[in-house]
Structure 1
Amino acid sequence: MTVNDDSFTNWKTREEIAESMIPLIGKLHRERDVTVLLHSRSLVNKSVVSILKTHRFARQIAGEELSVTETLPFVRALTELDLGPSQIDIGMLAATYKADDRGLTVEAFTAEAVAGATGANKIERGEGRDVVLYGFGRIGRLVARLLIEKAGSGNGLRLRAIVVRGGGEQDIVKRASLLRRDSIHGQFQGTITVDEANSTIIANGNAIKVIYANDPSEVDYTAYGIKNAILIDNTGKWRDREGLSQHLRPGIDKVVLTAPGKGDVPNIVHGVNHDTLKPDEQILSCASCTTNAIVPPLKAMEDEYGVERGHVETVHSFTNDQNLLDNYHKSERRGRSAPLNMVITETGAASAVAKALPDLKARITGSSIRVPVPDVSIAILNLQLKRETTREEVLDHLREVSLTSPLRRQIDFITAPDAVSSDFIGSRHASIVDAGALKVEGDNAILYLWYDNEFGYSCQVIRVVQHVSGVEYPTYPAPAV
């Protein structure tokens, strides 16, 4: 048998093993609200090839490829346990099991590692929480996709309604079409039908009412059977407490803004300061995509090295608030053609750091350039540290943070030498450390942080909503603190 034959036989064997994982992972998700992860990447509803690629990607961050032969026994062990709602990282299970020298079986080790989600310790599945989207633009549609994807057994977040202004004939058909197909993020994973008579979009069995209103005061959500809901305002029209309070109508309990909040509105970056939210807080902001990209790695660097001061330069994809061709705009430069120019503009991300990291005393400045790409941006974080270090030490630290720390859902790590912006479309992390571009000299470190400013940010929004709704399930094995 030739080397080529050996490689192909090995591939077919791994395909067969990955295929056997799919029904086990699906059953755990549907019946028990258990999400199986591999190094923070969900394996729910993934194809055979996607599962194999996710295992191979572990080589980028952990240094060696994970084999499905290593992880399948842990998936099987999970199906035999009395699990409650949780997220379980089989990549971490495999890594910690390999390092354990007690001689336990996979079954015994798994039971011990996820004990907090079993038996008397497990969280009881609730009735779920209603969610309303106010606005249905770029972020709104991606958040809708994520909510539908995460509906699972129906006991988590439930997208009940979308509020938009009337757009004329076949409005709901056109909006459903924008949800179904996206030029950047591809096809919706599932089926979408439209019930025009009842103004409803049905996506993967989820009936979503489309409510037409020009103002929050026009809507009584209880008339649609909506109660105790979290409303996600993705219009950005109101950003202070007074304006956002207009949404606190019958049926709405909390309001989440997908833009930086003003005044005393808390700006929340999940993974960094989400646990500071008071249970009775009704209005909060998820800050900006760039704030979410820079604050987690900034915290990781502050915790390990201390930060004296820093500057962030963002090279940001163009957005809908710019013009396709030169035309009037209230901002001087944003009126110039977005697909034809690099456009210097402002960013509020640096000043927003203080809200998310109030203990950070370092002065952080920032600026931004919009460039002619439709999605994925990069933040260049230039830091003066409180002690000298080396490039190797910083790389090891950030790799470990991405794998085992409480920030592992926010920070990703890549070593690919030929990585470019389009490689990160669809990333679910708030930011991705580019190991090859990192520069360190003495007490100066320059981090290059990629981020999908649409999808990665939308994932952060969902994490915040899960937290405030009480359906943010614990992750096992527990990350290192």
Structure 2
Amino acid sequence: MIPLIGGLYRGHGVVTSIHGRRLINRSAVELLKAHRFARQAGDVELDLADTMRVLEALTEIGPGPASVDVARLVARFHAAGEGTDLVDFLRAELAPVLVDAEGASAASGTDVVLYGFGRIGRLLARILIAHAGGGQGLRLRAIVVRKGAENDLQKRASLLRRDSVHGPFQGTITVDEEANTILANGTLIQVIYSDDPATIDYTAYGISDAIVVDNTGRWRDEAGLSRHLESTGVSRVLLTAPGKGAIKNIVHGINHTDIESGDRVLSAASCTTNAITPVLAAIEEAYGIRRGHVETVHSFTNDQNLIDNFHKGDRRGRSAVLNMVIAETGAAKAVSKALPALEGKLTGSAIRVPTPDVSLAILNLQLERPTDKATLNAYLRKVSLTSPLRQQIDYIESAEVVSTDFVGSHRAGIVDGLATIADGTDVVLYVWYDNEYGYSCQVVRVVEAMAGTHPIVLPEREPVRIEQVAPAAVPEVVEAG
């Protein structure tokens, strides 16, 4: 399977997955675990032989760029009945990317510049490098930082190579100090030193019409972020923090279709907003939300102090590694920017805790229509597997999972089914989220939407209706892959 999966990705831009769990660059053991997850999910008994046949048929067909869920294809193929030809079936299912396959493969890609190279910047770099494929999508061309030392380039490369939370970089990294470049798995990244976003000539490095992803947080309004547009070679800007004023806050999966070609400055909202908005949207659609409170138990971040010292923010001057710190969050109010139906219905607060990554959002909701735990969980599980929010919402049932089990999750949020409380119209949901990696995946999806390179997801996903979901469909235990 492994060479077929790689060949489909490199040659055709086809991203294969099993219920949203990517198969690219996975070991044999990891592929087996992905199949095991599909069996435990209860949606389809996915056999290795079925996956192999689908991969062989996909290789024969040679579709254009797409995100293909093998488990869903196998389920639909079996439902079609005996006598159905697999290749003909797949041609019908993949029709949207067969027509334009040749033109899609010829696309030159979109240049991306990372302005800032902190926690989010380095994870964005890892994801963009891993998604490089044949170069038809997003192309990481440069990072912009302020020079911190004479050996700055070596230090930046070292931080990309090693990460205390997310582990080592999967591949090779080479530094060229004369050219100020980092070569990571074949992706050549120009390192540019600047403290003014308006004074860089990106075209001097062969970069044009670039999307600048500002992950510094220094500017959050349109006036400040528009300074990037004064640099030659920049066409659009995305902020990796909540935007102020009239800037559109985009949560992929919820309102990314609101992105217009004329939008020059956008925001990818916050990690917490990305984690809770998809779940809230699913609940709002099925049950309606009268009001609610969001409490986030959030890992500490670099804006806090390691040990007590002056900080302009309340309580944040106290040691992040020794204390739980009550903090403010605008995530609850920010939800309405992406999901206007919840305007004025949510309040929110936060507690910073001494963990380096992965946070937990507790959604205390009063619904319009009553439900019970089994029905609600069955609905959310189905949403995580087959709905248009499949890339944003994951679902797990396990009595043993803790925060570190979700480090590296590609989803914006993971519903902890065993922790769900539902009593009529009163509901409490627990949603885990990797506030670094999961959020970074959402940011990349927004950049893909801005560039028009986000792969179409096949087979096409359908909204999940609560009346179609039976509580008995939920297996007793659903473990993460």
What TM-score, normalized by structure 2, do the two folds share? Answer: 0.94
Tell me, yes or no, if structure 1 residue 25 matches structure 2 residue 33. Answer: no
3-state DSSP class of the match of 2:371? Answer: coil
Cross-structure match for 1:207: 188
**Alpha-carbon distance between aligned partners in 1 of 2:78 and 2:365, rounded to the nearest angstrom:** 36
Tell me, yes or no, if structure 1 residue 54 matches structure 2 residue 54. Answer: no
3-state DSSP class of the match of 1:80? Answer: helix
Cross-structure match for 1:333: 315
3-state DSSP class of the match of 2:51? Answer: helix
1:463-478 matched pairs, under 5 angstroms: 463-478=445-460
Question: 79, 94, 97: which is aligned to 1:117?
Answer: 97
Structure 1: runs of 5 or more not aligned: 1-20
CA deviation after TM superposition for structure 1 residue 121, in Å: 6.8
Contact 2:333 2:344 in 1 (8 A): no
Query: Bigger CA drift: 94-103 or 37-46?
Result: 94-103
Cross-structure match for 1:444: 426
CA deviation after TM superposition for structure 1 residue 120, in Å: 5.1
Residue by residue over 1:17-46, the C-alpha shift from the partner in whole angstroms, topping out at 9 and shown as x without a partner, is xxxx00001011111111111111211111
CA deviation after TM superposition for structure 1 residue 240, in Å: 0.3
Amino acid at match of 1:91: A
Amino acid at match of 1:433: V
**Alpha-carbon distance between aligned partners in 1 of 2:137 and 2:330, rounded to the nearest angstrom:** 33
Query: Bigger CA drift: 113-122 or 269-278?
Result: 113-122
Cross-structure match for 2:224: 243
Cross-structure match for 1:416: 398
Question: 195, 211, 219: which is aligned to 2:200?
Answer: 219
Query: Bigger CA drift: 327-336 or 450-459?
Result: 327-336
**Alpha-carbon distance between aligned partners in 1 of 2:458 and 2:383, rounded to the nearest angstrom:** 16
Residue by residue over 1:256-290, the C-alpha shift from the partner in whole angstroms, topping out at 9 and shown as x without a partner, is 00000000010000000000111110100000000
Contact 1:85 1:122 in 2 (8 A): no
**Alpha-carbon distance between aligned partners in 1 of 2:462 and 2:433, rounded to the nearest angstrom:** 24
Contact 1:60 1:413 in 2 (8 A): no
Cross-structure match for 2:472: none
3-state DSSP class of the match of 1:373? Answer: coil
1:81-480 matched pairs, under 5 angstroms: 81-101=61-81, 103-119=83-99, 124-125=104-105, 126-248=107-229, 249-361=231-343, 363-480=345-462
Question: 77, 80, 85: which is aligned to 2:57?
Answer: 77
Contact 1:233 1:257 in 2 (8 A): yes
**Alpha-carbon distance between aligned partners in 1 of 2:37 and 2:309, rounded to the nearest angstrom:** 44
Tell me, yes or no, if structure 1 residue 67 matches structure 2 residue 51. Answer: no
Amino acid at match of 1:342: M
Contact 2:248 2:337 in 1 (8 A): yes
Question: 16, 24, 44: which is aligned to 1:36?
Answer: 16
3-state DSSP class of the match of 1:45? Answer: coil
Figure out how many residues of one structure are paired with residues of the other and give that number.
Answer: 461
**Alpha-carbon distance between aligned partners in 1 of 2:24 and 2:178, rounded to the nearest angstrom:** 34
Contact 2:144 2:192 in 1 (8 A): yes
Contact 1:162 1:210 in 2 (8 A): yes
Contact 2:333 2:343 in 1 (8 A): no
**Alpha-carbon distance between aligned partners in 1 of 2:379 and 2:246, rounded to the nearest angstrom:** 34
CA deviation after TM superposition for structure 1 residue 388, in Å: 0.8
Amino acid at match of 2:81: D
Q: 1:171 to 1:122 in 2, by over 3 A?
A: same
Contact 2:175 2:183 in 1 (8 A): yes
**Alpha-carbon distance between aligned partners in 2 of 1:230 and 1:102, rounded to the nearest angstrom:** 49
Amino acid at match of 1:386: E
Contact 1:85 1:123 in 2 (8 A): no
CA deviation after TM superposition for structure 1 residue 155, in Å: 1.5
Structure 2: runs of 5 or more not aligned: 464-481
Residue by residue over 1:171-206, the C-alpha shift from the partner in whole angstroms, topping out at 9 and shown as x without a partner, is 000000000000000011110000001100000111
Cross-structure match for 1:18: none
**Alpha-carbon distance between aligned partners in 2 of 1:120 and 1:278, rounded to the nearest angstrom:** 22
CA deviation after TM superposition for structure 1 residue 218, in Å: 2.5
**Alpha-carbon distance between aligned partners in 2 of 1:424 and 1:24, rounded to the nearest angstrom:** 28
CA deviation after TM superposition for structure 1 residue 214, in Å: 1.1
Cross-structure match for 1:5: none
Query: Bigger CA drift: 456-465 or 79-88?
Result: 79-88
Contact 1:241 1:263 in 2 (8 A): yes
CA deviation after TM superposition for structure 1 residue 102, in Å: 5.9
**Alpha-carbon distance between aligned partners in 2 of 1:331 and 1:60, rounded to the nearest angstrom:** 46
Query: Bigger CA drift: 422-431 or 385-394?
Result: 385-394
Identity %: 57
**Alpha-carbon distance between aligned partners in 2 of 1:334 and 1:270, rounded to the nearest angstrom:** 30
Amino acid at match of 1:467: A
Contact 2:8 2:62 in 1 (8 A): no
**Alpha-carbon distance between aligned partners in 1 of 2:192 and 2:342, rounded to the nearest angstrom:** 43
**Alpha-carbon distance between aligned partners in 2 of 1:95 and 1:373, rounded to the nearest angstrom:** 40
Contact 2:359 2:434 in 1 (8 A): yes
Over aligned residues, Cα RMSD in angstroms? 1.3
Amino acid at match of 1:185: H
**Alpha-carbon distance between aligned partners in 2 of 1:323 and 1:285, rounded to the nearest angstrom:** 27
Cross-structure match for 2:468: none
Amino acid at match of 2:341: D
Contact 1:82 1:119 in 2 (8 A): no
**Alpha-carbon distance between aligned partners in 1 of 2:182 and 2:119, rounded to the nearest angstrom:** 17
Contact 1:255 1:284 in 2 (8 A): yes
**Alpha-carbon distance between aligned partners in 2 of 1:167 and 1:432, rounded to the nearest angstrom:** 37
**Alpha-carbon distance between aligned partners in 1 of 2:218 and 2:40, rounded to the nearest angstrom:** 41
